[in-house]
A = this chain, B = another copy of it.
């Protein structure tokens, strides 16, 4: 299990933190059974056995709870991607693993649980903070691999690094986004291999 993201709001002590965790756990189960859109904060309050007002002491809205669930999901995906990248020794292979694990980890999480997919889809459509931060971290991971590959002489150095990072990120992006992913199923098996080979050809020194 990867690290769990806690809210950006300042923690009010360990007991508060436990209550938040408890609410998020109950909400995850409730959303995944009844769906995110259909569930209200009242439903959640009933499910956890707290008053609605008490829940609002910890989260300002249903979306705030959804954001935390989403952040946890994205953290899991990210941890899987990082683990896959770390298994490889050389930057070209790291890049291949990154493409492969991006597709596999995202697909597994989003299709395993149709209801969680619904939260992830809202997050992607409405550009929730958690999604933006996740995309930024993925870009940084990519940039690290590219820098390492440039230093090792595996990758060309003529193109400005920023440009290379952005272009490869654009190639990868459809496979990070649950909405886009849902529409790419036809090619899901070949895509990671084909795209990483193309990208590696574009990087040859």
Binding site for B on A (CB under 8 A): 124-125, 156, 159, 163-164, 166-168, 170-171, 173-174, 177, 179-180, 183-184, 187, 190-191, 194-195, 197-199, 201-203
Contacts and interface: CB of A to CB of B under 8 A. Distances in A.
19 contacts: A124-B183, A156-B201, A163-B194, A164-B198, A167-B195, A167-B197, A167-B198, A170-B187, A170-B194, A171-B171, A173-B184, A173-B187, A174-B174, A177-B183, A179-B183, A180-B184, A198-B202, A201-B202, A201-B203
Contacts of A167: 194-195, 197-198
Nearest to A198: B167
A180 B174 contact: yes
A143 to B, nearest CB: 15
Copy number in the complex reads 2
Given A180-B183, A183-B180, A198 B168 contact: yes
B201 A159 contact: yes
Given A163-B194, A170-B190, A199-B202, 7 more contacts: A166-B194, A167-B195, A167-B197, A173-B174, A177-B183, A179-B179, A198-B202
Contacts of A198: 164, 167-168, 170-171, 199, 202
Contacts of A194: 163, 166-167, 170
Contacts of A173: 174, 184, 187
A169 to B, nearest CB: 9
Contacts of A195: 167, 170-171
